[in-house]
Amino acid sequence: MQSTCRNPWCSQPFEVTKDDLAFYDKVSPILNGGKYTIPPPTQCPTCRRQRRLVWHNIMNFHKRNCDRTGREILSNISPDKPLTVYDINAWWEDSWDQHEAGLPLDFQKTFFEQFAELLLGAPIPSLHAQPSTDENCTYTNYALFNKNCYLIFHANGNEDCLYGFGVKFSKNAVDVLNSFDSEIQYECIDCEKCYNLYSCKDCENCADSLFLDDCIGCKNCIACHNLRNAEFCIFNKKTSKQEFEKLRAAILNGSHATREEWRKEFESFLLQMPRRATMIRQCENCSGDHLYRCQNVHESYDIKDVRDGKFLDRIFNGPNSDLYDVYQFGVKAEMCYECSVVGINANNVCFSALCRNEVSDILYSFFCQTCKHCFGCVGLHNQEYCILNKQYSKEDYETLVPKIIEHMQQTGEWGEFFPAELSPFSYNETIAQEHFPMTQREIEMRGWEWRDRTDEIPKVKKTIPAEKLPDNIADIPDDVIHWAIECEITKRPFRVTKQELAFYRTMRLPVPHLHPDERHKRRTAMRNPRRIWKRQCAKCNKPIETTYSPERPEIVYCEECYLREVY
């Protein structure tokens, strides 16, 4: 079945397969013995992804007042947004009436009009976290069970980690993107079960190494690619322990100039080495990139331990099954469709965002925790049988919800995720801007919001341009934690924390010259885009599908040629 994206700025053709239709039928809610079939999507997969991501401001903080206590709080919702925002600790308390902002059903209005009204009045928490689970982690978001961490996001079960995104069960990881079950990492990307790595990417079970790419089971290696179970190698060539240790000491000499020189040399080396078309390991019948231990998962990215899914992003910690069009989380999630951040025993959740922790039979809801049988609700926890935050009996709920769905079918809303216009966030402060970057003019032409960035002027002893910092960590004074450093690229000021400085000194690393946001941006740019192109294997000329666009200079092999090269 061929369709065309209904967005006028897109109009791209896309296919809806028989398997897709079967899934929509499978996940369709059954109420009072009747099935309310979810129709096929009207937007292409890319536009659907973008629409989900615009509901997530993960990395930008604002100061505003708590609407319950009146105290100044940290929130990802800017103070100019007229939402009702409670401090995260106050929101989790049971001493306020969660149903007070509830709205009666009004079939003279569209559902999304009523939901938009509720979104303004129903209290929502200042951040996506659970305060009792974190210790000494003020500046984190989308985070649980962390200790002594600073500016880490989409992060769970970590200790002493700084400046990271997608950090899971790791310790002493600094400036990382997607770190899993690892310890002591610096500037690493997509590494799992690793120890003491520096500037490594796509590595598993590696240790005590620098500048590795796509290596498994390696230790004591420098500047290597495509190696398996190797030790004491430099630029993929076997060397002695003495030569390795000598070079390691020369690289980790605390000098910023040395680091930059080696970074560029390793990038040049990688251009000579073959790359696999897509990063798919231990999978069966899968397509996409960075898929691990999956089965029957297609057109998906950054996925671990999922069976039967499509159009997924950043789902980890399975088992997870029967998921379509879901962004982020997992942990025993199943039968979910068109959701953003759903998981921890989530079942039958559709068209919802930020609903997690033992949630089931949830439709069109936002930020509901430990809830079940809820429709169109905002900011509830430990509730059931609610519609627009009003409490109903089981019988009334099951009578009213079919009427709402029938009304939404008439208005064309049934089967659509929340419109981007209703998001509590400006487009360019959400994760959508990272994956689908647009200019202010492009954003505003679509009727979405743009927010100008203004950095708070730091209260410091002095401000110093990064290029004027001492080159070597040995020459950086203790007083640097009281300075503001001006980013070499963006000129935005940033500070070095006491914990961070101690890490650099222990690891013999230079103080960064770039703002944390710029460092994250560069790590993200080192990963391939979430898109598949057609090109030919550079060795056997067989047609392949890959995340490397045809004009890129990398040498890309099909899976068969790549495995022969590596093994």
pLDDT in tens, 95-114: 899 999 999 999 999 999 99
| pLDDT value for 459 | 78
Is residue 301 within 8 A of residue 287, CB to CB? The reply is: no
| Separation of alpha carbons 277 and 532, rounded Å | 10
Nearest Cα to 53, choosing from 317, 318, 438, 408? Answer: 438
- Binned at pLDDT 50, 70 and 90, residue 211 comes out as very high
**SS3 of 174, please?**
strand
Look at residue 549 and tell me whether its pLDDT is greater than 80: yes
- Condensed to tens digits (0 to 9), the pLDDT of residues 278-332 reads 999 999 999 999 999 999 999 999 999 999 999 999 998 778 899 999 998 888 8
| pLDDT value for 432 | 96
- Condensed to tens digits (0 to 9), the pLDDT of residues 72-81 reads 999 999 999 9
Nearest Cα to 543, choosing from 272, 277, 297, 270? Answer: 277
| Separation of alpha carbons 280 and 296, rounded Å | 12
**Mean pLDDT on 37-57:** 97
| pLDDT value for 456 | 75
| Separation of alpha carbons 307 and 482, rounded Å | 50
Look at residue 458 and tell me whether its pLDDT is greater than 80: no
Q: Which two tokens stand for residue 444?
A: 């505003």
Tell me whether residue 239 is exposed, middle or buried, using C-beta atoms within 10 angstroms of its C-beta: 0 to 12, 13 to 18, 19 or more.
middle
Q: What is the DSSP letter of 272?
A: T
Please tell me the pTM assigned to this model. Answer: 0.93
The phi and psi torsions of 460 (rounded to 5 degrees) equal -135, 170
Summary mean pLDDT of the chain: 95
Nearest Cα to 506, choosing from 162, 138, 139, 140? Answer: 162
Is residue 380 within 8 A of residue 386, CB to CB? The reply is: yes
Q: Which helix (H) or strand (E) holds 342?
A: strand 333-343
Min mean pLDDT across 279-283, 396-400, 460-464 is at 460-464
| pLDDT value for 566 | 83
The residue with greater pLDDT, 24 or 328, is 24
| Separation of alpha carbons 372 and 386, rounded Å | 9
**Mean pLDDT on 426-447:** 95
**Mean pLDDT on 492-517:** 96
Alpha helices in 412-491 (DSSP H): 431-435, 440-445
Pairing state between β 320-330 and 306-316: parallel
| pLDDT value for 330 | 82
Look at residue 130 and tell me whether its pLDDT is greater than 80: no
- Condensed to tens digits (0 to 9), the pLDDT of residues 381-393 reads 999 999 999 999 9
| pLDDT value for 499 | 96
| pLDDT value for 356 | 85
Q: Which amino acid is at 481?
A: I
| pLDDT value for 183 | 97
Beta strands in 439-525 (DSSP E): 462-465, 483-486, 493-494
